Every structure is written in C-alpha cells, then in structure tokens.
Amino acid sequence: MSATRVLVVGGKAGIVRKAAGLGFEVVHIQKPSAFDPDVVEHCAQLLLVDYQDVPTVTALVRVLHEQRPISRVFTQTEAAQAVVGHLTEALGLPGNSARTTRLLHDKPALRALLNERGIGPVRTLTGPAHAELRDFVKAHGAAVLKPTMGSGSLGVRVITSPDEVDGAWAWREEFGLTDFMVEELLVGDELSVESFSAAGAHTVVALTGKETGGGVVELGHVVPARIGDADLAAVRDMVVALLDAVGLVDGPAHTELILTADGPRVVESHSRRGGDRINDLVRLVHGVDLEESTYRLALEENPVPAGPAADGAAAIRFLVAEPGVVTSVSGVQEAEAADGVVQVDVQVAAGDTVHELRWSEDRCGYVVARGADTGTAVRRAREAAARIVIATEPAAGGARPQATLGDLLEEVDEVLDPFAAPANP
C-alpha cells in the first residue's frame, strides 16, 4: 500500500522532516533562494520554484495531482498561506479555502469583517490621505500605521499624538509603504491564542504572553500567559467567533489580541502556528506539537486533544544589540549553563551587521527557558539572555540610508500579495 501523498509548500528542512517522519510521501515546493540541501532526504519530489508565482505553481501542482493524487496541501509559513488556500481549492481538497486564507492575510478585510460582525470593533481607515490621518489621530488620541499585509512587525509605526503625524507620513513615503492602514491604538496587555481546528471545531491549545519593551517588535513570549478567568473566557469566545467568521475549518491559527479596558480586541490572526518559536513553547508546556498536528490532519479527524493541560511554563527572550558591525559575542556558555535553559541560539558572529530593530528579522537570536510557573520561566530566560553580550562598533562610512519595504522584502525573497497584478505586466 502506497504512502499518503502530501504537498508541503515552503518551510525549513525541519518542517518538512516532520511530515516525512509521519510516513507521508512528501512533495515539496520551495523557492530557489531558500533551498536547503538537508531537505532532499525527506522528499519524494522536490520542485525549486517561486511558490508566490501563482500561475506557474498552480499549473505545476495540477500536473502533479493528475499524475498521482495529492491528499492535502500544507504550509507552515506566512508567505504561502494564501497560495495554499488557492491550491487547496483548485484541487478540490479538504482544508481552508482561498477566502479564509485571504481574509487572514488581508488586514483591512479581516478588520472590516470583525467590525461588521461586532467582534471587538476597532476604528480604522485604509489608505488615508495625509489630512485624514491627522484627523484620525486627533479624534482618537493615538494610532498605529501599518501595511495592509505582512507579519513580524514589518512596517508598523505607532503615532502617539497629532504632533507626530507629519514625521510618520514622511517616514511612510521614504519607507515606500503604499498599501497601508491606520487603526486606533489599543492599550493593554498583549497576548496571542494558539488554537487548532478540525472540521470547523476549534480548540484553544495555549495562551502566549508577549513583551515588546514599549516598541512594536516582540522581545519575549511566555506560555502560559498570565490572565484572569473573566478575561480568559472573553478571549476564548472572541477567538472562536473570529475563526467561525472567517470560515477556518482545519489546522492551527495564531490570533494576536490586546486586553483593553473595553475587553479583548483582535490585532490580527493567521492560519498557521505562531512564529518566534511559540510552537516550541507550546510543545514544552502542553505537549502538543502544532506543526506535527497539522500534518496529522491527513491521517486522522482531530489530532489535538481538547484542553491540553499545562506542565509548568516556558519562555523565550530574544537577543538584541546596538546597530553596527559585530566585534565579539561572549557569555554564550554561561547562558547555556543557567538554570532552566533549554536552548540558546545566537544568530550573529564577528563581522556581521546588526541593524536597528525594524522588524523581527533584525533580532540577533534567542534563549528558551523553562520554569515551574510563568514568572520563573520569564525571569530565567531574561537572566540567561542578559549573560550574552553582543558587542558592536559603528559601521564604516557612518549611517546608511533607510532600507525601504522593498529592500527588506527582497532580502527574504517575498512579496506581500502574490495575487496582485505585476506593476509592469
């Protein structure tokens, strides 16, 4: 009897290895720029093609499916979510629809749907003119300017008063942010809900507490989040209502919220497991691997138990450094030996360039630690991270021009909207 054949779009070698480890025959599509030779041993077929080139990848997948049927199309990466929804629908396979994955990728569309359904309404404008932005900030006191698509805090800027509008507008133009929206600034504790759905039934697996240090880029996470019973019930109800509204039927979702004085409000949601190693924190505490569970949908009806219990807590603290050229990295062994530390990953070395903290990709690594409770796990991760010193010196030639949105996306070989018409067809 032949193995179940699945298509995995994008993702690192470890992601693909999990699918192969479950006994699937894996067809893998990856961008040539992201190819890792370690993935080859886990694939029955490997296609190096830009999966965000929708006409090309659709034609290729149709042929593969005709030759030998594919049972499911999976992805664990944000850049491929909407494409996989499209492919799932094009092949007539079970899974989330093109509408669902598009709604969760298109922030104005999601906000409009939530506001229409009365699911934690948030005041917003899409693509306001300069004067409209000023009026919005005057009316609401503060606001968040952000791209209509994307993740990792890319292109997000907080405007705290009308006096900052002109500077934010000039920054937006210099950054090359043309498709943008503005929302009222939500104030309160930040968290995310890691859920899993099967046949339209939603299970809240974990709640993740977040820390940004007053900025927009996340500097730490902890599972489980500190939250009272009343807030917990309201958060659960809101996430289930959101997932029903967008029509999510299968797989993980990562929904970010803020606990405001008026109750929880959704920031954004995604049809994938959380990034930033949140899956590792969930696995350590709740014993659920959301990546592996996603693939198991091709084998069983619901691979995630209802209400998985927590065993202690786990936290991650990200490493940051002053912008410049790295001259030395020290304290790694001391961090690894610290109480409760599970993993240390320093992603820069002498000679590398550290940028200002523009988005998640600018962080320099992380420390993961466990503890008996949330406070202990956070403290251990923070103290271990503090032992690591990444020394830098100013880059030769002084400050460089600000990188644009296009520059940053080019570095990771992604576009925000793979279905947009090309600028110069």
For 137-158, write each residue's pLDDT tens digit.
999 999 999 999 998 899 999 9
Residues 200 and 298 in one domain: yes
State how beta strands 341-346 and 143-147 pair: unpaired
The verdict on residue 99 lying in a domain is no
Residues 197 and 263 in one domain: yes
39: left (phi over 0), alpha (psi -120 to 50) or beta: alpha
Burial class (CB in 10 A: 0-12, 13-18, 19+), 421: exposed
User: 181 - beta bridge partners?
Assistant: 126, 146
Q: Can you give the CATH number for the domain in which 33 is found?
A: 3.40.50.20
Q: Give the CA-trace dihedral at 156, 160, 165, 167, to 10 degrees.
A: -70
Q: Residue 152's pLDDT is what? A: 87
- pLDDT 10s digits, 230-286: 999 999 999 999 999 999 999 999 999 999 999 999 999 999 999 999 999 999 999
The verdict on residue 410 lying in a domain is no
The verdict on residue 164 lying in a domain is yes
Q: Does position 424 have pLDDT exceeding 50, yes or no? A: no
**Residue at a domain's end among 311, 339, 373:** 311
Q: What does the pLDDT average to over 208-220?
A: 94
Number of other residues whose CB lies within 10 A of the CB of residue 197: 22
State how beta strands 25-30 and 5-9 pair: parallel
Residues 283 and 214 in one domain: yes
Q: What does the pLDDT average to over 93-99?
A: 97
Residues 292 and 327 in one domain: no
Q: What does the pLDDT average to over 92-98?
A: 97
Q: Can you give the CATH number for the domain in which 173 is found?
A: 3.30.1490.20
Q: Are 252 and 77 a contacting pair, CB within 8 Å?
A: no
Residues 191 and 307 in one domain: yes
Q: What does the pLDDT average to over 10-21?
A: 96
Q: Can you give the CATH number for the domain in which 352 is found?
A: 3.30.470.20
Query: Could you tell me the CA-to-CA distances from 79 to 38, 61, 127, 418 in Å, in that order?
Result: 21, 18, 22, 9
| 3-state class (DSSP) for residue 8 | strand
Q: Does position 3 have pLDDT exceeding 90, yes or no? A: no
Q: Does position 186 have pLDDT exceeding 90, yes or no? A: yes
Burial class (CB in 10 A: 0-12, 13-18, 19+), 274: buried
**Residue at a domain's end among 271, 295, 311:** 311
Q: Does position 188 have pLDDT exceeding 50, yes or no? A: yes
Separation of alpha carbons 30 and 413, rounded Å: 11
* Residue 171: domain span: 123-184
Q: Residue 399's pLDDT is what? A: 62
Q: Does position 1 have pLDDT exceeding 60, yes or no? A: no
Given strand 220-223, what is the order of strands in its sheet?
263-270, 251-260, 189-198, 201-211, 220-223, 313-319, 365-371, 341-346
Q: What does the pLDDT average to over 24-42?
A: 97
- pLDDT 10s digits, 254-268: 999 999 999 999 999
Residues 206 and 280 in one domain: yes
The verdict on residue 105 lying in a domain is no
Q: Does position 183 have pLDDT exceeding 50, yes or no? A: yes
Query: Could you tell me the CA-to-CA distances from 352 to 57, 217, 324, 332, 362 in Å, in that order?
Result: 35, 21, 8, 17, 12
The verdict on residue 144 lying in a domain is yes
Average pLDDT, the chain: 95
State how beta strands 143-147 and 45-48 pair: unpaired
Percent of the chain residues topping a pLDDT of 90: 92
Q: Does position 77 have pLDDT exceeding 80, yes or no? A: yes
The verdict on residue 257 lying in a domain is yes
* Count of structural domains within the chain: 4
- Single-letter code of the amino acid located at 420: A
Residues 374 and 346 in one domain: yes
Phi, psi of 280 (to 5 degrees): -65, -40
Separation of alpha carbons 245 and 249, rounded Å: 11
Percent of the chain residues topping a pLDDT of 70: 98
Q: Residue 388's pLDDT is what? A: 98
Residues 256 and 363 in one domain: no
The verdict on residue 222 lying in a domain is yes
Query: Could you tell me the CA-to-CA distances from 403 to 176, 177, 181, 407 in Å, in that order?
Result: 9, 12, 20, 6
Q: Residue 226's pLDDT is what? A: 95
- pLDDT 10s digits, 349-373: 999 999 999 999 999 999 999 999 9
Q: Does position 423 have pLDDT exceeding 60, yes or no? A: no
Q: Residue 422's pLDDT is what? A: 63
DSSP H or E run through 72:
strand 72-74
Q: Does position 93 have pLDDT exceeding 60, yes or no? A: yes
**Residue at a domain's end among 260, 290, 311:** 311
Residues 213 and 169 in one domain: no
Q: Does position 398 have pLDDT exceeding 70, yes or no? A: no
The verdict on residue 299 lying in a domain is yes
Q: Residue 425's pLDDT is what? A: 43
Separation of alpha carbons 53 and 327, rounded Å: 40
